[in-house]
Each structure stands twice: as C-alpha cells, then as structure tokens.
Structure 1
C-alpha cells in the first residue's frame, strides 16, 4: 500500500506541476530569474515532502500546489500591470561593459567576477573583452553582447580575403592579481609582464583591474577605478 500511495501521489504531483508550468507560461522555464528559481524550489519541496508524509494526501498536495500557482499567477499579473514592481520581483538588466570598458561596480553589485564574465562571453562566441562594445547582464543570469564594429559581420570570407590564424586571448591579471597559470601557458614570466606594464606607464600590478594578452594585439590593460 505504501508503494502504491507513493506512486499515485508522485503521478498526481507530476501532472499537477506540468499543468501549472504550462499555465504560467514558458518564462518559468526559459527565463529563470531569482524569483522563478525560488518558486521552482518551493514547488519541488511541496510535492517532494508530501510524497513521504503519511498524513498528507492528494487533496493536500493539490491545495498546496494550487495555492502557490495562484500566488505566482497573481505576481505575474502584477509585474505586467504595475511596471514599477518589475525591478523588485524580476530584477533589471545591468550594463557590465560600456563602450568597451568593464564596469567594475556594476559587476560587484551583480556578484560577477572576471572568470564568470569570460565564461558567459565565451558562450556567446566572444573570446576577448576587446571585441565587446556593450555587454548586458540579463535578469536570468545570461549576457547579451553587442560587438565592436570591427568584429561584426560581414566576415572576411564575404570579401574573399585570406584567412588568418586564430589566436586565443589569455587573462593575465584579474583585479590586481597575476594569473600565473596563464603566464606559464603562454611561455612568459612575471619579469616579462612587469616590462610590458612599464611600457604602458603602470608601475604595479595592483593598479590593474583586468589584463589580457594575445599575440596579435599584445597586452590589453584596464586600470582600477579611482
């Protein structure tokens, strides 16, 4: 009887959550904001805990899921009707690269470090911050990228130009700290890096927020904000 009860309640919970997800719309799945993430956790807990609680039956599961679904639906309606509530409940996009410059304070506010940012950029086929004119951190945690004109289409093949060797950029300085592994991978050391910094009139690594190197463009530096 116990297995039969778990089976019936699991099946009912699955169907109920599926219907609820279809009713609320695709945004609950595709655009997972912080609020949506909390909603998904709570819905999972409501059904999961109910399955192994002998005193909880199908009517209790149905009531809890239905109640939470109604609250979510009301919240969605509020965000659609009352524009001022959207930033509170759904968050708002943040510009983290503006005119090619990293916005350190905005990144701090969004709890985003350079490694995370580079990962998000690579997911957009961008392997260097030098290619980016604007980057926007969306409410679902993804990044939207507008490349600089030099890196936008049309491509070289559109003009029958010869292909050039592709070079992978390396982050060598992150928030005043040298990335030793990347220096070693490139075949350089700290002495080389210090010489390159002095060429750009920088006396200390601590003055640098972000440093990137590739063979075609050399060392790219963005200083710490004053």
Structure 2
C-alpha cells in the first residue's frame, strides 16, 4: 500500500508541475531569472517532501502546489502590470562591454569574472573580445552580443576569396594574473609580455584586467 501511495503522489506531483509550467508560459523555462530559480526550487521541494512524508496526502500536495503556483502567477502579473517592480523582482540587464571596452564595475556587480565572460561569448561563437563592440549581461545570466562593424562584413566565401588560416586568440592575462600555460604554449616568455605591456603604457600585469594574443597581431589589452 505504501508503494502504491508513493506512485500515486509521484504521478500527481508530476502532472501538477507539468500543468503549472504550461499555465505560466514558456518564459519560465527559457528565461530563468532569480525569482524563477527560487520558484523552481520551492516547487520541487514541496513535491519531493510530500512523497516521503506519510502524514502528507495528495490533497495537501495539490493545495501546496496550487498556492505556490498562484503566487508565481500573481508575481508575473505584477511585473507585467507595474514596470517599476520588474527591476526588483527580475533584475536589470547590465552593459559589460561598451564600445569595445570591458566595464569592470558592472562585471563586479554581476559577479562575472573573465573566464565566465569568455565562456558566454564562445556560446555566441565569439572567440575574441576584440570582435565585440557591445555586450549585455541579461537577467537570466546569458549574454547578448553586438559585434564590431568590421566583423559584420560579408564572409570570404561571399566574396569568393581564398580561405586563410584562422588563429585562436589566447588569454595571457586574466584579472591581473599571467596565464602561464597559454604563454608557454605560444612560445613566449615573461620578458616578451612585459615589453608588450610597456609599449601600451602598462608597468605590470597587475594593472591589466584582460590581455589576449593572436599570432600575427599586436597584444590586445583591457585595463581595469
């Protein structure tokens, strides 16, 4: 009887969450804000605890899911009806690259480091910060990217030009620290890096937020 009860409660909880997701809309899945994340955790906890608590019946599971779903629905309605509440409940997008320059203070506010930013950019098929004119950290944790105008020109295939070898940009300095592995893999040393930094009026790697190197090009440096 106990196993049958767990089976019934599991199916009931699954159906409730499935219906609730359909009612609340696809944005609950594709655009997870901080509030949506908390809502998902609580809903899962409600159903999970109900499965293993013998004193909790199906009616109580349904009631708890209904109340929490109603709270989520009302919150979504408030954010749509009153624009001022959106920043509080959903947060605001922040510009992290402006006119090709990293906005360090905005990155700190968003708890975003260089490695995380590079990962997000690669998901947008951007492998070098030099290619980015603007980047915005969205409320769901993704990044929207506007490439520089030179990167938006027709491809070599469009112009019937001969393909050339593509070099991958290597991070040599991240958050003021030298990435030694990348430096060695490029066949470079600390002396070369210091000279390149001095050419751009930097006395030390500690003064640099980010620096990358691509064969055949000058060292690209971003200050704090």
1:186-211 per-position Cα deviation (integer Å, ceiling 9, x unaligned):
11111111121122222211221111
In 1, Cα distance between the equivalents of 2:153 and 2:218? 24
1:47-67 per-position Cα deviation (integer Å, ceiling 9, x unaligned):
000000000000000000000
In 2, Cα distance between the equivalents of 1:138 and 1:223? 23
Give the structure-1-normalised TM-score: 0.97
Structural mapping, 1:8-87, within 5 Å = 8-87=8-87
Task: Give unpaired runs (5+ residues) of structure 1.
Answer: none
Alignment-derived partner of residue 144 in structure 1 = 144
In 1, Cα distance between the equivalents of 2:50 and 2:216? 60
Alignment-derived partner of residue 157 in structure 1 = 157
In 1, Cα distance between the equivalents of 2:116 and 2:183? 20
SS of the equivalent of 1:158 reads: coil
1:147-171 per-position Cα deviation (integer Å, ceiling 9, x unaligned):
0011114212111112111100011
1:78-122 per-position Cα deviation (integer Å, ceiling 9, x unaligned):
000000000111111111000000000000000000000000000
Structural mapping, 1:1-226, within 5 Å = 1-224=1-224
In 1, Cα distance between the equivalents of 2:198 and 2:153? 36
In 1, Cα distance between the equivalents of 2:156 and 2:9? 59
CA apart distance, 1:123? 0.3
CA apart distance, 1:216? 3.0
1:124-145 per-position Cα deviation (integer Å, ceiling 9, x unaligned):
0000000000001011100000
CA apart distance, 1:184? 1.4
Task: Give unpaired runs (5+ residues) of structure 2.
Answer: none
CA apart distance, 1:182? 1.0
CA RMSD, Structure 1 to Structure 2 (Å): 0.9
SS of the equivalent of 1:145 reads: strand
